[in-house]
Amino acid sequence: MALHLVIFGRQGAGKGTQSQHLVDAFGVVHVSTGDMLRAAIADETEMGLAAQAIMDDGGLVDDDTMCAIVADRLGAEDVVANGVLLDGFPRTPTQAEKLVDILGDRTIDAAINLEVSIEQVTTRMLDRGRDDDTPEAIEKRLRLYESETRPLLEWFEARDLLVTVDGLGTEAEVFDRIRLSLEARTQVGRVSEAE
Ligand code: AMP
């Protein structure tokens, strides 16, 4: 059974790590719109060049462009066969509505909200000591996440698709929580065990 999942989490919540576990466990294709845009910039495509200034400025690329990119990717054979883990999309309620259209017969199984408090992610980011992890930059990104993403969590909650998982603990502990929550909803565990 191909799953169609979305993952949300503040920067520093461990979204990248848990995405990899989800790919390994459920065979879904990881589709990160941020990665796709960065690849388009590296390839110097017209779309990439247009997106670059917006991204550098910390803004959002327009919904039409994003929905076109995602529609194209979700129509590809690997996604149709194996399902998807969307990371970075949807970013706005308009994109969420459009995602439903794009998926058509394929339904969203769950939106995973990897919950780590602002205090905890701030500590984690300051500890890893990257150059762009100044207290000011961290605060700006976290503020944007609240304003951008909160309405989307509500959108998924209203459709009974939101699965909030405590992101504190070891990688394995956190993934166990995600897996158990998904299995409870989708019974996918039984399917994959039978394989
Ligand atoms: P991310 O790697 O998901 O943090 O994305 C990096 C940047 O790409 C964001 O700050 C946005 O400028 C842009 N971006 C990625 N996904 C989207 C999206 N779904 N809608 C609009 N802009 C996006």
Q: Could you report the per-residue pLDDT of 3-35, keeping only the tens digit for each?
A: 999 999 998 999 999 999 999 999 999 999 999
Does residue 194 sit in helix, strand or coil?
A: helix
Confidence bin at 140 (pLDDT 50/70/90): confident
Q: What distances in angstroms separate CA 84 from CA 2, 3, 59, 109, one per listed residue? A: 8, 6, 25, 10
CA of 3 to the centre of ligand 1 (A): 23
Pocket of ligand 1 (CB under 6 A): 33-34, 37, 54-55, 59-61, 66, 88-89, 91, 95
Confidence bin at 187 (pLDDT 50/70/90): low
* Among 35-49, 117-131, 137-151, the range of highest mean pLDDT: 35-49
pLDDT of residue 31: 98
Q: Pairing mode, if any, of strands 162-166 and 110-115?
A: parallel
Q: Which of 52, 61, 72 to mutate to test the pocket of ligand 1 (most atoms within 8 A of CB)?
A: 61
pLDDT of residue 155: 96
Q: Could you report the per-residue pLDDT of 42-85, keeping only the tens digit for each?
A: 999 999 999 999 888 878 899 999 999 999 999 999 999 999 99
CA of 88 to the centre of ligand 1 (A): 6
- Whether pLDDT at 1 is above 70: yes
Cα–Cα dist 98/74, whole Å: 12
CA of 103 to the centre of ligand 1 (A): 20
Q: Write the CATH number of the domain with boundaries 3-185.
A: 3.40.50.300
- Whether pLDDT at 188 is above 80: no
pLDDT of residue 138: 86
Q: What are the extents of the domains in the chain?
A: 3-185
- Whether pLDDT at 191 is above 50: no
What's the order of all strands across the beta sheet hosting 110-115? 29-32, 83-87, 3-9, 110-115, 162-166
How many residues are there in the chain? 195
pLDDT of residue 68: 97
Name which residue sits closest to atom 5 of ligand 1, judged by CA: 34
